[in-house]
Structure 1
Amino acid sequence: MSDTSILLPPAASRASATLLCVDDEQNILSALRRLFRHDGYRVLTAISGDAGIKLLESEQVDLVISDMRMPEMDGARFLEVVSSRWPDTSRILLTGHADITSTIEAINQGQIFRYISKPWDDQDVRLIVRHALEHKQLERDKRRLEALTQRQNEELRELNASLEARVEERTAELRLTHDALAAANEKLKTSFLTSIKVFSNLIEVTEGPRSGHSRRVADLARRIAVKIGLDRTATQDVMLAGLLHDIGKIGMPDALLAKSVSQMNTEEFILFKKHPIKGELALMALDSLRSAARLLRSHHERYDGQGYPDGLSATDIPLGARILAVANDYDGLQIGSFSAKRLTSVEALAFLQQSRGKRYDPQVLDAFASLNDSEIVDKAQKEWALGPNSLKPGMVLSRDLVSREGALLLAADFLLDDSLIKQIRGYTRYEEQSVVIHVRADWIETNTNQKSAINIDD
């Protein structure tokens, strides 16, 4: 079926059309009625223009056939009225050869579909009427489709606007969800790191004056990793390994742990050398610590291959473990865990340099030696040192808060609230000593109106 056939009315619909024939001669009207008898049209007749108008006012007419020459109101005038009042009704003019001027007037003013000259051919008239009705139906279909298209376009615009609003609403919801998840994730990371620091502190409870060793090693290892250019994930693994590098010593005799490595006998040293493997095994079950566990296992390997537990050398040793070895030994030399004699920081650095390419990776030593105060956080510019009574909810610790014995009380990056502030103040009263708490400067800078209420020396 063609597209045109879809728009055309079926034969039954065309046959039900109503025609109005207007002529002042009854025999013409009778002839027209007989002509359309077999086409199934409903045929109305009127003997004047006025009579035709009255019929049009009361009947639904699809097509008008009007004679040109009629008394009182000629065909041109009659069809002009029809065009004005019933523009959807098709109009055909019957005219003689002598009525050319009037025909032109009817075409211009009455906007007729066709004119038929008298005498007419019956088949031509029937065909013209059929074409007129089909043409009018096409116009109706066109208007209907245009109206439908316009309505659908309006609906699409409304739908599009509604969809845009929904998308914006959904995007806002997703953004809020993302922000909430990001905040929750950040809180989890902070809690995770705090837990590691607390656990690291528990490992060192029995070490007395050596307390804080793991935190110092972790911080120094992190700075070296940043200097070398490790990415954020690798740097965090190095720091975590630094915090937990002595976890394998749990369960070893206190007498053994109180000795420096140089003071241990053969049997004690064999037992001591097992702690890297034990430490790795203790952390292997935790996915988030598996990489740190691998570094922990190898932090006593030597660059020349004479270390333990696997005898790895050079770049076969994970870079993070090579970094950890430098940080661990630098602090160990100063606290007496490496040798009985405690070295100064300058002496410890000199010892490391003497073992360049033997114990230690030259690249790591160069990065460590190049560290200077300008690459350490500028505490004066980026943090404030406050007394307990100046703490405010919303402040964030910039450093670990440790007890007089070196035990970790709160980890850096902890968000203070009323409850924690009360606990800190209670602790300082219990200890009966002055405690300085370091907080990020950004909170104070943001809340500039709070500066006047903060007493740094309280």
Structure 2
Amino acid sequence: MTTTLLQAPPSSEIHPDPPESATVLTVDDEPSVLNALRRVFRAQGIATLQATSAAEGLVLLKTHRVDLVISDMRMPEMDGARFLELVRNHDESIVRILLTGYADMSSTIAAINKGAIHRYIAKPWDDQDLVLVVREALTRRDLEKKNAELTSLTKRQNEQLRDINQTLESRVVARTAELQQINGMLDAAYEDLDKTFVLAVNVFSSLMEMRGGHPGHARRVADLSRETAKRLKLSERDVRDVYLAALVHDIGTIGFPDTMLKKPVSTYTADEHQRYRRHTIEGETALMALTQLQGVAKIVRQHHERVDGKGFPDGLAGTAITMGARIVAAASDLDELAHGALGELNLSVERVNSMLMGGVGTHYDKAVIEILLKVAEDLAAAAQNDVQIDAHDLRPGMVLARAVLSAKGATLLAAGYMFDERVVKQVTAFAEREGVRLTLWVKGDSLPPDVKRIESSRSES
């Protein structure tokens, strides 16, 4: 019979297999006990080491890998409880079992309470129960060891994942910053390209007007049309199309003979009128090849349509005419009436306004005319604040109030252009290189207080 503080499972249960290569150290000062233990464990395929004293057992612990220690309680020089405490100090993971008799019960309980041993087995023991206890202890130790290894591995992997995540986050941040920088550069490049494109259209418009004999007409119509489109709350893209269409709305007349270009439309002969009525189609054809001018081309084709359907070339009426075309048509007629292009005389502002209002419902859209006349009034008032300065006084941030034209009337810089340091240097260098006094009109609200103004009459540029 065997008595234990912790009862062993019934012998009928299936014995768990110990881990492979498990080693049990048995320590007892009686060789017969050691031999008996060795026979029991050998039959189970469990390797054993034997020591006849605690000191010998400690030596074996230093030279061999041991998974479980079974020690007798009563031994000379050092008892089993103290020995197992030293085993614990050597390697806490080693399973510690104490063999003891009933007379040693108080010492055994003290050893258990101090945490020095896992279990005790009373002498004499039952071989089957002993094997079962050892097998369970070794299996539990193996599971605890694997659990500790998995926990350590999980910890290392979590740390690695954290490092990887931090690295990825850093890379994402860096890549995002790089993409933002690239996008900023692309936006700046696109904006610069778009400005260059608009300036090119301005230059082309001025070249057309040099031949047509009506300098400034397209530019004035473009300014009127753009501001009218903004106040009618058109989209940014539509406002841009209206502005560009106004600059080139008469591109279809580029093939007209000089005699037609230099006289008012009201003085055209019948043949000239017939040719004139085709210029909107020819203008659309000239622009259709450019993808970015598709909307512009449509406005150019329709800018001589009338809201009552009696215009040309397609006889469109009302809202069938694109809003951009309705705006450009009214702005073009306003400027031509004021500057004598439609007739032989320039008309007063009051007369021009009266004629445009009289055309509401037949030629023009009422909403467009009401906004356009207010825009014309506001632009004229704003022009009173324009300031003329010498090119050498030009500073970055100033806004051009009136287009800079070449000697032959070609647009070099469009009105509304904001000067940057590069263009300021180019303008001043040009004036010095050519040895001329170059003056510019800039917006008064963009003029620094220390810049000298040039007093001059306010003639139309």
TM-score normalised according to structure 2 size: 0.88
Q: Tell whether 2:134 aligns with 1:103.
A: no
Matches of 2:384 and 2:55, distance apart in 1: 105
CA deviation profile, 1:320-370 (whole Å, cap 9, x unmatched):
111111100000112222112221222111111111111111111121233
Q: Tell whether 2:403 aligns with 1:400.
A: yes
Q: Give the CA deviation at 1:280.
A: 0.4
1:5 paired residue number:
none
From 194, 197, 200, the counterpart of 1:192: 197
Q: Is the 8 A contact 1:90 1:113 kept in 2?
A: yes
> What pairs up with 1:73-222 in 2 under 5 angstroms?
73-208=78-213, 210-222=214-226
What amino acid sits opposite 2:223 in the alignment? D
CA deviation profile, 1:69-89 (whole Å, cap 9, x unmatched):
222321111111111222121
Cα distance change of structure 1 residues 434 and 85 upon mapping to structure 2, 3 Å threshold? closer
Q: Is the 8 A contact 2:398 2:442 kept in 1?
A: no
Q: Is the 8 A contact 1:394 1:417 kept in 2?
A: no
Matches of 2:379 and 2:341, distance apart in 1: 28
Q: Tell whether 2:359 aligns with 1:352.
A: no
Q: Give the CA deviation at 1:46.
A: 1.6
Matches of 1:96 and 1:441, distance apart in 2: 108
Cα distance change of structure 1 residues 375 and 327 upon mapping to structure 2, 3 Å threshold? closer
Q: Give the CA deviation at 1:455.
A: 3.6
Matches of 2:242 and 2:115, distance apart in 1: 96
Matches of 1:168 and 1:180, distance apart in 2: 18
What secondary structure does 2:102 align onto?
A: coil
Structure with the greater relative contact order (CA < 8 A, sep ≥ 6): 1 or 2? Answer: 2
| Structure 1 spans left out of the alignment, 5+ residues | 1-9, 446-450
Matches of 1:379 and 1:50, distance apart in 2: 110
Matches of 1:75 and 1:231, distance apart in 2: 94
From 10, 19, 24, the counterpart of 2:29: 24
Matches of 2:444 and 2:89, distance apart in 1: 85
Cα distance change of structure 1 residues 143 and 271 upon mapping to structure 2, 3 Å threshold? same
Q: Is the 8 A contact 1:197 1:408 kept in 2?
A: yes
Q: Tell whether 2:262 aligns with 1:223.
A: no
Q: Is the 8 A contact 1:83 1:110 kept in 2?
A: no
2:63 paired residue number:
58
Q: Tell whether 2:272 aligns with 1:265.
A: no
Matches of 1:80 and 1:135, distance apart in 2: 20
Q: Is the 8 A contact 1:92 1:115 kept in 2?
A: yes
What amino acid sits opposite 1:20 in the alignment? L
CA deviation profile, 1:247-297 (whole Å, cap 9, x unmatched):
000111111122212111211100111111100000011111111110111
Q: Tell whether 2:215 aligns with 1:242.
A: no
1:448 paired residue number:
none
1:422 paired residue number:
429
Q: Give the CA deviation at 1:157.
A: 1.4
Q: Give the CA deviation at 1:239.
A: 0.8
Cα distance change of structure 1 residues 374 and 218 upon mapping to structure 2, 3 Å threshold? closer
Q: Is the 8 A contact 2:394 2:424 kept in 1?
A: no
1:7 paired residue number:
none
What secondary structure does 2:29 align onto?
A: coil
What amino acid sits opposite 1:65 in the alignment? I
Q: Give the CA deviation at 1:15.
A: 4.5
1:386 paired residue number:
389
> What pairs up with 1:5-16 in 2 under 5 angstroms?
14-16=19-21
Q: Is the 8 A contact 2:388 2:441 kept in 1?
A: yes
What secondary structure does 2:121 align onto?
A: strand
What amino acid sits opposite 1:127 in the alignment? L
2:345 paired residue number:
341
Q: Tell whether 2:43 aligns with 1:38.
A: yes
Cα distance change of structure 1 residues 25 and 110 upon mapping to structure 2, 3 Å threshold? farther
Q: Give the CA deviation at 1:417.
A: 4.5
CA deviation profile, 1:152-189 (whole Å, cap 9, x unmatched):
11111111111111111111111110111011000000
What secondary structure does 1:370 align onto?
A: helix
| Structure 2 spans left out of the alignment, 5+ residues | 1-15, 456-461
What secondary structure does 1:99 align onto?
A: helix
Matches of 1:102 and 1:43, distance apart in 2: 26
Q: Give the CA deviation at 1:203.
A: 0.7
TM-score normalised according to structure 1 size: 0.88
Matches of 1:83 and 1:362, distance apart in 2: 102
CA deviation profile, 1:17-39 (whole Å, cap 9, x unmatched):
22111112221111001111122
Q: Is the 8 A contact 1:16 1:40 kept in 2?
A: no
What secondary structure does 1:82 align onto?
A: helix
Higher alpha-carbon deviation: 364-373 or 143-152: 364-373
CA deviation profile, 1:128-174 (whole Å, cap 9, x unmatched):
11111111111111111111111111111111111111111111111
Q: Is the 8 A contact 1:390 1:456 kept in 2?
A: no
Q: Is the 8 A contact 2:266 2:342 kept in 1?
A: yes
Q: Give the CA deviation at 1:380.
A: 8.4
Q: Give the CA deviation at 1:457.
A: 4.0
What secondary structure does 2:50 align onto?
A: strand
Overall identity of the aligned pairs, in %: 44
Matches of 1:365 and 1:405, distance apart in 2: 33
From 305, 308, 311, the counterpart of 1:304: 308
Cα distance change of structure 1 residues 363 and 439 upon mapping to structure 2, 3 Å threshold? closer
Matches of 2:379 and 2:173, distance apart in 1: 44
2:52 paired residue number:
47
CA deviation profile, 1:187-238 (whole Å, cap 9, x unmatched):
0000000000000001111233x21101111111111111111111111111
1:409 paired residue number:
412
Higher alpha-carbon deviation: 146-155 or 39-48: 39-48
Q: Is the 8 A contact 1:200 1:214 kept in 2?
A: yes
